[in-house]
Each structure stands twice: as C-alpha cells, then as structure tokens.
Amino acid sequence: MKIKLFTHILFGMGTMWLLSGCSKNPVTGKKELIFMSQEKELAIGAESHPSVVATMGIYDDKNLQAFINEKGKAMGSISHRPDIPYQFFIVDSPVVNAFAVPGGYVYFTRGIMAHFNNEAEFAGVLGHEIGHITARHSARQQTTQILGQVGLMAGMVLSPQIRGMADQAQQVVGTLLLSYSREHETESDGIGVQYSSKIGYDAHEMAHFFGTLKKLSDKSGQSIPTFQSTHPDPGDRMTKVDGLATAYQKEHPANYEVNRNQYLQRIEGIVYGNDPKQGFVENGQFYHPELRFQFPVPSGWQYENSPIQFQMASKDGKAMMLFTLAEGKSLDEAAQSVVKGYNLQVSENNKTTINGNPALVMVSTIAQQTQEGQQPAAQTEANTTKVATWLIQYGGNIYAIHGVAGGADFNGNVAQFKNVAQGFKAVTNSNILNRKPERIRIKTVQRSGTLKDALKAYNMPESKMADLSILNGMDLDAKVEKGMLFKTLGE
C-alpha cells in the first residue's frame, strides 16, 4: 500500500446525464437512444483518471509504457471511433486485469502484462478494451443503470482476486462499480479479434490467453457458474474467440504476427505478485516496510491491499475493517475530517496511546440519509451501521483504522477491532524492512524437454511450479525446445 497524502477519490456525478437523443452506434450501425453525449464520456474519463491513479498507482516502466502507447494509438486509429483521444496506462497492481474508462482511457495492470506471453495476446485484450469504448457500452448500459461515482467502466478481463471484498468496501466508501452485461463482453471479444487482426496480430493468441484466464480462475477457487456471471466463462470465450479468429483470417488472408520473443524481452524484470514496498500480509500480520508499521490481520479474514488503503472483512460479511491515511495535522483535525467525510454521529470520543503513539478513539453510527422533506426512520439495531475508529499519530502521519458492523453485530466484533488497532506498532525486523519483490526473469531453455525440466534447470522450487505453468501459458509437461525463451521468477 503506497500511501500518499489522502485525497477524496470519489467524484459525485451531481447531475443526470443529458439526453443526446437517437444516434447511430459506431460499431453496430444501429439507431440507439443514448443518454450520454460524447462530451460527457470525455468528461468522465478526465474526472476518473486521477481516481484510478490514486487508487492503483502507475507502474514505472518507460519502455513498456512506450510499447502500449504505440500499439494503442495504432489500434485507435483503425477503430470505429478514431477521433477519440485514447490514452493508455500500466497501473501498479498484481491483479490480472484490464479495464477502460469512458473517453478513451485504457488501463492494464502489471499483473496482466506479466501473464501475456506474446504481443498478439496483448493486442487481443487491447482490442477488447477499446471495443468497450467504441461500442459505447457505458452509454448503452447507462440507460438502465447510472454509472458509479468514479465512472469506472468495468470492462475487466478477469479479477477473481478482488471479488470477496467488494460489497463490504462499497458500504463504507460509497463506491459503485458498473459491470457490463455478458452481451457487451461477448461483443467486445469480437471487436478485439477484429481490431487486433487489423493491426497485424494473430487473434488465435487472444483465444489462447482466455485459456490462461481459465486456469487462473480455476486456481483461485472462485470460478462461478456462467449464468451468474456478468463475464462469460473464460473457457467458453476461448472457444468462441478461436472460431472468430479462424473466420476472420479465412476472409482476410495475411501473415499475422505473434511476436513471442519480442514481448518476453519487454517484460524482463517486471514485478510479479505483491510488491513488498506497498505492504504485504505474512504470518497474520500486515507489514508496510516503507512506512515501517505493522498490525494484525484477523485469522480467516479476507483482505485487499491498494495504494491508498488496506481493507479486510470476515468471511460471513458481517464485519469489515478499513485502514488508510487520515486528513489533518492533529488528531482533533483528523477526527473532524473523518466525522464529516463519513457522515458519522459520534457517541464516544477519547484520547489514549497505542504502543507509545498518541491516539484518539471514537465510536459512531453512520447517519441515515433521507430524501428532502422526509423524516428519518427510528434507528434500530437492524437499520444501524456502527463504526469504531482509531486515529493513530505515527511517523509524521495520522492513520485511521475503522471497524464497521451492523448494529446487531457490532458488540460481537468490538474486541476483534480493538485487537487490530492496539496491535499497530513499529516494524523493526530487518528481514521485513529489506524485503524485495519477485520479478519475471526471462531465461533460455538449455536442453529440449518439458517446461518443468526447463524450470528445474534454473532451480525453480516445486511450490512455484503451478504459478510458473500459468505464467508461461503452458502445461508443465508441454514440450520446449533448446533456445526457446520462457519465464522464471527471481529478485
């Protein structure tokens, strides 16, 4: 968690979208009633981009950034909306994901960049995300559902790692994520085949990457039935996209590129998995080496780390905790900011110390929101959300730890909340403070055999074999030839 000065990342939409009337969809060619003008799309992108950067951070790799800019601009120019000012970014997240924001903003996580095995796979996903923009999926979806406050178009290829925390986090920070329908996802897959093929890449590799996503989904243990998902099953997508690629190439014969070696050389050294300097969980503790603090994570709780906050929740969803930086130069200023920002009604407020650090503790309820002219309903345990807040002054910053639960469950979780907050302390362990991230290291097969043989030749441990199989986009018993490039892990 690369904590920066806390800023509000949520942008209130403020007004309903202006009716722009019937217009022809640039991809489908059909007349549609659209409630979002192109000017509004551009405005959403411009407003949302700082939020995305604040939430995820930009991954610092100028060469890889130049590559996605080059391919993105080339694809934008042949798209159905070449007038859009497309912009492309690699965000500093280990989650395997890509998404787009209205107005031409397209994002790839370093996690997905690490899992591509050639330029053609990347180009297919690039086309999919640009397809969400050119087909105006946000505008079409908006006719039945208003976009979330940050305007994120959830054109996500896959993100099973973060699903567990979404509902609890939304209750606290007010974030509303919009998911596309399966129809839109399928349409974007077809557009991805078309666009990537038009700039010279073999779209069969896009299908192959959905095979990688299928393995990631299965490994996470969070795969969900197709009929319940807003995203089609990756295995189904692999089959359909492969057929679309075959049909396109039959109609447009050409030499389509894959460029495996070129791509692998581009991602040499990219950070894989969690970057320790952003914070990590180990042995029941969350550690932040750069800011030199730690606190406990309750056993069995799910958690998610981002550059601006760390959040965790019980598996039953009845309690959650949020750790972030608080605004204000003093504990009192920070308390005022928290109360105002979360619309809290404070019932307890006490000064204390936590492991030698000045602290302030509050117990509050979240004030009910009512329509103008309406009286608020009487508060009961069933309709009340309670919050325990610890503000801790440490290392020149003030940190906020919030424990949140419904009125009926709050008392049963207070001891857990208190244990986390009182466990906040300085990190002194040099092994934690000096921890280095794992990185993708590109090696050459020394002797023909299987992928597993090649990995063992570079002393890759058995515990990493499953991850390395997925990273390389092939089974461990797949044949590899001498001189072939492949991925390993190292510092």
Residues 6+ away with beta carbon under 8 Å from 251: none
pLDDT beyond 60 at 372: no
* Contact of 385 with 405, CB cutoff 8 Å: yes
Residue 455, in any domain of the structure: yes
pLDDT beyond 50 at 146: no
Pairwise CA distance, residues 164 & 331, whole Å? 32
pLDDT at residue 45, rounded to an integer: 82
How many CA atoms lie less than 13 Å away from 139 in the CB half-sphere? 28
Residue 8, in any domain of the structure: no
Pairwise CA distance, residues 328 & 107, whole Å? 32
Amino acid at 452: K
> CA angle at residue 474 from 468 to 476, to 5 degrees?
65
In the DSSP assignment, the letter for residue 376 is P
Pairwise CA distance, residues 37 & 43, whole Å? 10
Residue 15, in any domain of the structure: no
Instruction: Please indicate, yes or no, whether residues 248 and 379 belong to a single structural domain of this protein.
Output: no
Instruction: Please indicate, yes or no, whether residues 311 and 245 belong to a single structural domain of this protein.
Output: no
* Contact of 77 with 130, CB cutoff 8 Å: no
Residue 238, in any domain of the structure: yes
Residue 100, in any domain of the structure: yes
Pairwise CA distance, residues 282 & 439, whole Å? 19
pLDDT at residue 97, rounded to an integer: 93
Place 409 in a pLDDT band, splitting at 50, 70 and 90.
very high
Pick the more confident residue, 342 or 227.
342
pLDDT beyond 80 at 330: yes
Domain end (from 240, 272, 304): 272
* Contact of 230 with 185, CB cutoff 8 Å: yes
Residues 6+ away with beta carbon under 8 Å from 246: 204
Pick the more confident residue, 95 or 17.
95
Instruction: Please indicate, yes or no, whether residues 136 and 179 belong to a single structural domain of this protein.
Output: yes
Point out the least confidently predicted range of 45-49, 96-100, 238-242, 335-339.
45-49
Segments forming the whole domain that contains residue 411: 276-433
Residue 1, in any domain of the structure: no
Point out the least confidently predicted range of 112-126, 157-171, 374-388, 468-482.
157-171
Residue 410 tokens, joined: 């709050």
Tokens 């990631």 correspond to: 216
Place 12 in a pLDDT band, splitting at 50, 70 and 90.
very low
Instruction: Please indicate, yes or no, whether residues 473 and 406 belong to a single structural domain of this protein.
Output: no
pLDDT beyond 80 at 282: yes
Tokens 């099973």 correspond to: 160
pLDDT at residue 198, rounded to an integer: 98
Instruction: Please indicate, yes or no, whether residues 216 and 292 belong to a single structural domain of this protein.
Output: no
Residue 9, in any domain of the structure: no
CATH (domain of 361) = 3.40.1000.10
Nearest to 146 by CA among 329, 14, 326, 268: 14
Share in percent of the chain as helix, strand, coil (round to 5):
40, 25, 35
pLDDT at residue 136, rounded to an integer: 74
pLDDT at residue 322, rounded to an integer: 96
Instruction: Please indicate, yes or no, whether residues 388 and 312 belong to a single structural domain of this protein.
Output: yes
Place 297 in a pLDDT band, splitting at 50, 70 and 90.
very high
Pairwise CA distance, residues 385 & 409, whole Å? 9
| Mean pLDDT score, 45-58 | 88
pLDDT at residue 437, rounded to an integer: 94
pLDDT in tens, 19-50: 344 566 666 656 554 556 778 878 888 888 99
DSSP 169-238: HHHHH---PBPPPHHHHHHHHHHHHHHHHHTTB-THHHHHHHHHHHHHHHHHT----GGG-SS--HHHHH
Instruction: Please indicate, yes or no, whether residues 423 and 443 belong to a single structural domain of this protein.
Output: no
Place 420 in a pLDDT band, splitting at 50, 70 and 90.
very high
Domain end (from 239, 272, 305): 272
The mean pLDDT of the chain is 83
Instruction: Please indicate, yes or no, whether residues 385 and 466 belong to a single structural domain of this protein.
Output: no
Instruction: Please indicate, yes or no, whether residues 413 and 449 belong to a single structural domain of this protein.
Output: no
Task: Name the domain count of the chain.
Answer: 3
Sign of the torsion formed by the C-alpha atoms of 102, 105, 111 and 116: positive
pLDDT at residue 29, rounded to an integer: 58
pLDDT in tens, 181-237: 677 788 889 999 999 999 999 999 999 999 999 898 888 754 333 333 445 676 688
Pairwise CA distance, residues 262 & 62, whole Å? 16
Instruction: Please indicate, yes or no, whether residues 80 and 159 belong to a single structural domain of this protein.
Output: yes
Instruction: Please indicate, yes or no, whether residues 296 and 347 belong to a single structural domain of this protein.
Output: yes
pLDDT at residue 375, rounded to an integer: 55
pLDDT beyond 80 at 347: yes
Instruction: Please indicate, yes or no, whether residues 136 and 240 belong to a single structural domain of this protein.
Output: yes
Pairwise CA distance, residues 388 & 399, whole Å? 14
Point out the least confidently predicted range of 124-133, 155-164, 319-328, 331-340.
155-164
Residue 11, in any domain of the structure: no
* Contact of 175 with 152, CB cutoff 8 Å: no
The listed range with the strongest mean pLDDT (6-20, 97-111, 350-364) is: 350-364
pLDDT at residue 28, rounded to an integer: 62
